Structure 1
Amino acid sequence: MTTIATVAANFTRDLEQNYQAITDHVARARAQGVDFLVFPEAAIGGYLSSLGNHGDTIKNTTRSLPPAIRLDGPEIARVQSIIGNMVVAIGFCELADDGHTRYNAAAILDGTHVYGTYRKVHQPLGENMSYSSGTDWDVFDTPIGRVGLQICYDKAFPEAARVMALKGAEIIASLSAWPAARTATAENLQDDRWTYRFNLFDTARALDNQVFWIASNQAGTFGSLRYVANAKIVDPGGNILDTTLLDEGMAVADIDIEGTFRTMRAGMFHLRDRRPDAYGLLTETDTDASTGAQWRALAHA
């Protein structure tokens, strides 16, 4: 069995607060025998304080932006000193080698190794004014299995998870700073339409690809954003094994990766039963007017 945990917590620009939160969650996880712990998007340095064409979403400005971190910098080294032999996924703002390009990024690492990194591909609501975009999804061999990483809005795109599943991902860690709706927010945040979408995407992507899905999220508030938490662990059948709901905290579950896959994929196996020959439109990259008109016609057929 492998013990998995995922965090819902608040992370800000205060790096020392972030390190203390990481330390506290790692200690709690270690006491429960956790092998793999997932922290949210932007757990080192916090996320943007707003989304849309205002606030800190202004390209090439440092106003209110998260600290830009190099993979070989002291911030990642500090996290590694805290986590020791535990495998952890964590989000941060990555500074590229050119010294100015920023990526919304995540890494999977332990105290001595960085097993892989990911740069967010799909960007919502003006996020591209603060970050450049990644271009692909890799899957990484780690001590707890083959793990894929994605960040927040990526979960709305089935292709992202499917690519990683086809590359052999057993676990997909989805790190988020997912807020509630800005307008017509539900009185009970658990009933909010953006909370509903967050949870639906998590269960659907796990079931689509018959993988273990580990969703972390920010909690509380930061700037104009109110986060919905709901960190969770979902099995390959789309069943939620544990969740924090709206609370800060940690969801924990023991999973049998090999045994679950053997059972879930013995009959209906979604990856095996695909029909790529029928999916031509999904790989069409021609965006000229005629193709756009064709897509619109199909959408309204």
Structure 2
Amino acid sequence: MSALRMAAVSAEFGRDLEEDFAVAERLIKEARTGDVRLLALPEACLGGYLLSLDGDAADAGPPPLAVDGPEIRRLAALAGDMVVVAGYCEDGGDARYNSVVCVSGDGVLGNHRKVHQPLGENASYSSGDGFGAFDTPVGRIGMMICYDKAFPEAARALALDGAQIGVCVSAWPGSRTNAAADLERDRWKRRFDLFDRARALENQIVWLSANQAGTFGSLRFVGSAKVVEPGGEIIAETGVGAGMAVAEIDVPAALETARRSMGHLRDRRPEAYGPRREGRP
């Protein structure tokens, strides 16, 4: 496979679906002009995120969309010959989920429901129940959402399922306490970046991280979209403002090089990771 041009977006999205689709269409066109084949848009980019993380009953939340509904078909039509990943509120019938979908012009390629819920998010969404990779025209992808990446088991499950590229979409805000005036110095921004680099390095996979930018309700997002190579080095990033981080990687070659001497997946010792057995030193 030749080098793959990919991009992760930092951008501002809100409740108005038509405005969100206008922003998404502009970003997809910009990416296509730059020969990008895989584009990651943020968490909740269709309908916006929550107004706060305090379980605010006054917040009706984003509009729930069916994964096989007209809005996701519209996104797939915009994607065309590209592979596009985007966050949305999924209508699960008797429940709503904070979800991310992967589409191309052929339709839905994969869908993930956020498993780990921070602070008051469980007042608005039900939790997903697993992680799985899936094949796409640009390689095998595993998806997760925001707080999911704080748990090493999540990314490891995707890597063990053969994911070559991890895509994490977020609505990751700055710190709620002792907030830094300069987002570049914010401690939650530092955590966001550390998780991205660690998940790429420990699994030796390519990592795309998209995030909301700007403000929404009481939240101020840290941006910081990026592409990370399998050694944990950031090779493209947006900083805390809006933008598009673009990089070109020969993914299979990058994974082979990273895993040639020290293969983190190959050298695992699962038998040593369980509870201590009685009498074992």
TM over 0.5: yes
Deviation at 1:70, TM superposition (A): 0.2
Q: Please tell me the residue identity of whatever aligns with 2:73.
A: A
Q: How far did 1:3 drift?
A: 0.3
Q: Which amino acid is the alignment partner of residue 232 of structure 2? A: G
Question: Which residue matches 1:286?
Answer: none
Question: CA RMSD, aligned part only?
Answer: 1.1
Shift of 1:55: 4.8
How many residue pairs get matched?
274
Tell me whether 70-79 or 36-45 shows the greater mean CA deviation: 70-79
**What are the equivalent positions in structure 2 for 1:35-114 lying under 5 Å apart?**
35-56=37-58, 63-96=59-92, 99-114=93-108
* 1:191 is the counterpart of 2:185: yes
Distance 2:179 2:16 in 1: 28
User: Sequence identity, in percent?
Assistant: 53
**Match of 1:68, SS?**
coil
Q: Deviations over 1:121-164 (max 9, x none)?
A: 00000111110000100101000000000000011000000000
Amino acid at match of 2:209: A
Amino acid at match of 1:196: R
Aligned to 1:179: 173
Question: Hey, what's the Cα distance between the residues in 2 that align with 1:79 and 1:108?
Answer: 10
Query: How many Å separate the matches in 2 of 1:55 and 1:245?
Result: 33
SS of aligned partner of 1:252: strand
1:49, 1:64 within 8 Å by CA — same for their partners in 2?
Answer: no
Aligned residue number for residue 8 of structure 1: 10
1:3–1:254 Cα contact (<8 Å) kept: yes
* Partners of 1:181 and 1:261 in 2: CA distance: 34
- Cα distance in 2 for partners of 1:144, 1:203 equals 22
1:217 maps to what in 2? 211
> Does structure 2 retain, via aligned residues, the 8 Å contact 1:49–1:55?
no
Picking from 138, 142, 164, the partner of 1:144 is 138
Q: Which residue in the other structure is 1:60 paired with?
A: none
Q: Distance in 2 between matches of 1:111 and 1:278?
A: 45
Q: Which position in structure 1 is the counterpart of 2:279? A: none
Q: Which residue number corresponds to residue 260 of structure 1?
A: 254
Residue identity matched to 1:192: D
TM-score normalised by the chain length of structure 2: 0.95
CA distance in 2 between counterparts of 1:188 and 1:131 reads 31
Q: Match for residue 290 of structure 1?
A: none
Unaligned runs of 5+ in 2: 277-281
The alignment's TM-score, normalised by the length of structure 1, stands at 0.89
Shift of 1:188: 1.2
Q: Offset at 1:268?
A: 0.3
The residue identity in structure 1 corresponding to 2:45 is A
Alignment of 1:120-139 (within 5 A): 120-139=114-133
Determine the C-alpha separation between the residues in 2 that align with 1:112 and 1:141. Answer: 13
**How has the CA–CA distance of structure 1 residues 53 and 44 changed in structure 2, closer, same or farther, with 3 Å as cutoff?**
closer
